[in-house]
Amino acid sequence: MSNITQNKFSNFYIFMTFLRLGCIAFGGPAAHIVLFHNYLIKKLSWLDEQEYFKVLALAQIIPGPTSSQVGITLGYLKNGYSGAFCAWLGFTLPSAILMAGAAWLGQYFFENLNLYFFHIIQLIVLAVVFWAFWQMLRSLCHHVWQYIVMLFSAVFIYAVPLSANQIIVILLAALLGLLLAQEKPKQNEVKNTQFQLKSSKAYLWLILFALPFLLFPILNHVHPSLFIQAFAGFYRSASLVFGGGHIVLPLLHQDFVATGLISNEKFDLGYAIAQLMPGPLFSFASYLGALLPFTSSILINASLATIMIYLPSFVLVFGTLPYWSWLMQQQKIYKAIQGINAAVVGLLLCLIIQMTEKYIVQWLDVVFVMMVILLLKTKLPVWLTLIASFMSYYFYLNNFVMP
């Protein structure tokens, strides 16, 4: 048995540790990874550096929110399934409560907001998505064939109105990756791999991961309901996210806005608010769930949606962690992910094109979006950048444009 699993922590300690991190984890997944490293590894010595980077490597090759999956894995290594749940709950709870609260308040104030308010929110979302696209393009696309896949993905999704077009694109991109990507450079094998855990039936988790993709279409055909439709949307979106939390936006947009379950204005407002919150971006689902009438309780609805979108992460971590050594040696997985990365950048590019068509109505809007992007490139806090930008343009439109 490895020394990781011998050094157990109480569930309460794991929960409180990640709750503290969840309250201060601003800046997105990259910042979360650094925060975990500085606090859990350097300060508290939960794992050594080498072990932590193994956890990070695993979280990066499976779909889902990287920082949340790192937290789930750390909790699991410290106290099994209950430790994984407590780590996730602590890290997710602050942002989930704030996002559900924003949706609840929106029910009372949404109708009183003028058109300029929503127009500026949409422009801010466009700027944030463009900045995320640029960052992902630079970090995930390194070869000519990846740029071609990215452009093909964007054009296909834009031009072909199929409900499964995003899944088709990702599968095709994975196939192209297998054919065109270079193999991962071989590295010296690390001795004493800590993730050779005793779990002879871990493959059952992977079967469980795949089952919803087979069952949801059948259930929705036999007994269509909002709950099944939403569960399928959240689960499918979370299962296809590679490359960063922002890629969940076009997936959720297709499942909830394009289908008419949530208005475009409310969706964009929630996404803009999510940029100001600490913790994982996936807690945007808490906001969406609060707007969906599963039950008469906003709290229950938000909780259900939050569980739905994170469920694939738990199943994948439990199913893949015992096979860490094997997964890290598979060149086909590495090559397929190169293609998938290019495709998800294409999803964001398509979303930018669609947003630009709808949101840009005058040349000042272009200037405003460019200004927000430039501010995002600075070291100013994101919340300060977005709030200051919003207030400045809102003041201008209300005082110099509004008749």
Q: What is the DSSP string of 78-137?
A: HHHHHHHHHHHHHHHHHHHHHHHHHHHHHHHHGGGS-HHHHHHHHHHHHHHHHHHHHHHH
Q: Which stretch of 4-13, 170-179, 307-316, 335-344 has the lowest confidence by average pLDDT?
A: 4-13
Residue 223 contacts residue 232 (beta carbons within 8 Å): no
Range 358-386 average pLDDT? 91
Of all residues in the chain, what percent carry a pLDDT higher than 90?
55
User: Per-residue pLDDT for 76 more than 80?
Assistant: yes
**Rounded Cα distance, 165 and 346, in Å:** 12
Choose the weakest-confidence range: 3-12, 223-232, 276-285, 315-324.
Answer: 3-12
Residue 243 has pLDDT above 80, yes or no: no
pLDDT at 201: 77
Average pLDDT, integer, range 357-364: 92
pLDDT at residue number 28: 80
Q: What local confidence, expressed as pLDDT, does residue 193 receive? A: 45
Domain count, the chain: 1
Model pLDDT, residue 1? 34
Q: What is the mean pLDDT of the chain?
A: 87
Q: Is residue 193 part of a domain?
A: no
Q: Is residue 192 part of a domain?
A: no
> Residue 61: which pLDDT band, with cuts at 50, 70 and 90?
confident
Model pLDDT, residue 103: 94
pLDDT band of 3, cuts 50, 70, 90: very low
Q: How far apart are CA 285 and CA 281, in angstroms?
A: 9
Q: Reduced to 3 states, what is the DSSP secondary structure of residue 246?
A: helix
Average pLDDT (295-314) is 95
CA distance 288 to 294: 11
- Evaluate whether residue 200 is within a structural domain: no
Local structure of residue 281 (DSSP, 8 states): G
State the Cα–Cα distance between residues 99 and 167, nearest whole angstrom: 28
Would you say residue 104 lies in a domain?
yes
Looking at the domain assignment, is residue 230 inside a domain? yes
198 domain residue, yes or no: no
Check if the beta carbon of residue 86 is closer than 8 Å to that of residue 10: no
pLDDT at 341: 87
In a domain, 197, yes or no: no
Q: State yes or no: pLDDT of 307 exceeds 80.
A: yes
Give the predicted TM-score (pTM) of the model: 0.85
Provide the residue range defining the domain that includes 328.
Answer: 3-182+208-401
pLDDT at 4 over 60: no
Tell me: pLDDT of 325 over 90: no
Percent over 70 (pLDDT), the chain: 93
Domain membership of residue 32 (yes or no) is yes
- The mean pLDDT value for 381-396 works out to 90
Q: For residue 213, what are the CA distances in angstroms to 148, 164, 165, 220?
A: 29, 12, 15, 11
pLDDT at 186: 64
Average the pLDDT over each of 47-56, 147-156, 308-317 and give the range with the smallest value: 47-56
Give me the pLDDT at residue 242, please.
Answer: 74
Helices (H), 110-225: 115-140, 144-159, 165-180, 203-222
Q: Tens digits of per-residue pLDDT, 169-192?
A: 989 999 999 999 887 766 544 444
